[in-house]
Structure 1
Amino acid sequence: MPNPFNQQIIDEFRANHGRVGGPFEGARLLLLTTTGARTGAAHTTPVAYYPDGAEQVLVIASAGGAPRHPDWYRNLVADPRVKVEDGVFVYDAEAVVLEGAERDRLFARAVEAEPGWAEYQAKTERVIPVVALRAVPKDGPPTMAVRSPGEAVQVVHDAFRRELAAIRTEFGRNQGTTLGAQLRVNCLTLCQGLTLHHTGEDTALFPFVAGRDPSLAPALERLRREHEEIAVLLDSLRRAVSAEDADPAAVRSEVERLTAELEAHLTYEEEVLIPALEPASA
């Protein structure tokens, strides 16, 4: 069983699809379930993570600079097949412990984003591990802990809202004249996620909704046009972020522009789609 503090976070995380309050409000958290190296029992731990493109997320086994690796890390070394809950999706993943130059590069990127990691490393003689969690491909739709398709739309939208809020907070901390490497990755990962999400809606969700309620055709056409407009904003953000001498102020401006347009789009989409996707009341 997790300790009472962790259990409270786990319960709140699951009840609110990844949103928690208190000292971790606004933080990027996931629930990592490993198999006990000695007991073989499942153990779930809240862990901070960093985005790293569409294929993986990164977690750091700091244990606050303790002399021993955390239990979850020792477990995944013994059995790298783990379960991840990110507030939207639940999926099996392969945990890959990064080594050598790759580990050092990504740890340095994390330190640039949050200097506390360096403080933890200074407190211990062990090399703090960096672990990549890579989703295991599966057939069929992704697993979501939701009760209805309408709730799924809301949960996904809220996750994008949280990520944009986290990025805007990070810009508030980025006071230098250069764009932080992890902040750059966060922006690009967000762009990837939104592009994939809108492609899935255009090709699968919208045709499904149109088949259920043909009267929604004009609203769905508006949503498709808004996807095209948001795609232009995503391209502008990608170009601003990817510039060799990326100007943090210019990138932040693109993020703010995207946030305003996306929020209006998400709100309208929720008004249109959620009632159409909820089960009819008896």
Structure 2
Amino acid sequence: MPNDFNQPVIEEFRANGGRVGGYFEGARLILLTTTGARSGQPHTVPLAYLPDGAERLLIIGSAGGGPRHPAWYHNLLANPRATVETGVFTYEAEATVLEGAERDRIFARAVEVDEGWGNYQKMTSRVLPVVALTEVAGGPPNASSPGAALKLVHDAFRRELSLIRKEFAESGASLGVQLRMNCLTLCQGLTFHHTGEDTALFPYLADRCPELAPTIDRLGREHQKIAVLIEELSTVVGADHADTLSVLPEVERLTEELERHLDYEEAQLIPLLDG
């Protein structure tokens, strides 16, 4: 039976490319579908998550600080394979329950960016489980057309950059571990996306539309410029004594250049892709 709280969130998430209002507004959110440990039926819930590089994301079984682990956690123990919806992509993932020092380290990262996780832990005697979800099989963006897919992916990058800049505004002088990871995960995602365009989309378009050569050349040059900014941001973030004052200007430089690039690419390619 659908949960009265979750179901409207699920419907809004799917209708708006992962964007929702209300309680989850501004949060990094996924939909997780597990297989019921007893029923064998699919069970979908909206969950906040922590970025953890391009390979995986992290979720926490807080259950609002309640005395029992959430149903989705028990489902994953019985069947670790699950479906993840990000609003852009839907993919199959393998769940791994983190234990010991790794679990404690990740949970400390979560509390560092949102003390609510720590408050939930104080409300219960159980140890809140931390679970890693690693993609094992995926597909194209959840869009009705190639142009819509491009816009959906671009908007996800815009939204993530907006969240990161908000986190910088709310952080102190020191650069927290999770904020570092958020920056690095963004950099990895952008590199993967641009590599895919350089090796697949752009050659495809250049082959079929020779008149696009100047546009493709410009987009390729912009990718190279953005790659330099990504490398510079990654280097600064990875420095031992990095602080927000040294990293934020690199985030702003990347944001400015990327937004200009995305706007141009959409204006040039979406009409062609959907024409």
Is 1:67 the counterpart of 2:67? The answer is yes
In 2, Cα distance between equivalents of 1:169 and 1:5: 27
Is 1:236 the counterpart of 2:210? The answer is no
Root-mean-square deviation (CA), in Å? Answer: 1.0
Corresponding residue number in structure 2 for 1:214:
210
- Given that 1:26 and 1:162 are in contact with CA atoms closer than 8 Å, whether structure 2 keeps it comes out as no
Is 1:246 the counterpart of 2:242? The answer is yes
Is 1:149 the counterpart of 2:163? The answer is no
Corresponding residue number in structure 2 for 1:12:
12
Q: How many residues align?
A: 275
Quote how far apart the aligned CAs of 1:137 are.
4.2
- Given that 2:91 and 2:137 are in contact with CA atoms closer than 8 Å, whether structure 1 keeps it comes out as no
Q: Which amino acid in 2 is paired with 1:22? A: G
Quote how far apart the aligned CAs of 1:212 are.
2.7
Corresponding residue number in structure 1 for 2:122:
122
Pick from 168, 172, 185 the counterpart of residue 165 of structure 2: 168
In 2, Cα distance between equivalents of 1:22 and 1:161: 20
Deviations 1:86-109 (A, max 9, x none): 111111000100011110010011
TM-score where L is the length of structure 2: 0.98
Map residues 76-91 of structure 1 onto 2, 5 A cutoff. Answer: 76-91=76-91
Map residues 106-121 of structure 1 onto 2, 5 A cutoff. Answer: 106-121=106-121
Q: Which amino acid in 1 is paired with 2:258? A: L
In 2, Cα distance between equivalents of 1:165 and 1:43: 31
Quote how far apart the aligned CAs of 1:214 are.
1.6
- Given that 1:91 and 1:143 are in contact with CA atoms closer than 8 Å, whether structure 2 keeps it comes out as no
Quote how far apart the aligned CAs of 1:185 are.
0.4
- Given that 2:141 and 2:153 are in contact with CA atoms closer than 8 Å, whether structure 1 keeps it comes out as no
Moved more, 188-197 or 3-12: 3-12
In 2, Cα distance between equivalents of 1:199 and 1:143: 15
Q: Which amino acid in 2 is paired with 1:219? A: T
Unpaired segments of 5 or more residues in structure 2? Answer: none
The residue matched to 2:46 in structure 1 has which SS?
strand
**Identity among equivalent pairs (%):** 65
Moved more, 49-58 or 15-24: 15-24
- Given that 1:213 and 1:276 are in contact with CA atoms closer than 8 Å, whether structure 2 keeps it comes out as no
In 2, Cα distance between equivalents of 1:136 and 1:33: 15
The residue matched to 2:54 in structure 1 has which SS?
coil
Corresponding residue number in structure 1 for 2:47:
47
- Given that 1:52 and 1:186 are in contact with CA atoms closer than 8 Å, whether structure 2 keeps it comes out as yes
Moved more, 126-135 or 146-155: 146-155
Is 1:273 the counterpart of 2:269? The answer is yes
- Given that 1:32 and 1:46 are in contact with CA atoms closer than 8 Å, whether structure 2 keeps it comes out as yes
Unpaired segments of 5 or more residues in structure 1? Answer: none
In 1, Cα distance between equivalents of 2:243 and 2:102: 26
- Given that 2:112 and 2:178 are in contact with CA atoms closer than 8 Å, whether structure 1 keeps it comes out as yes
Deviations 1:207-260 (A, max 9, x none): 111223221110111000000111111111011101100021121111111111
Corresponding residue number in structure 2 for 1:201:
197
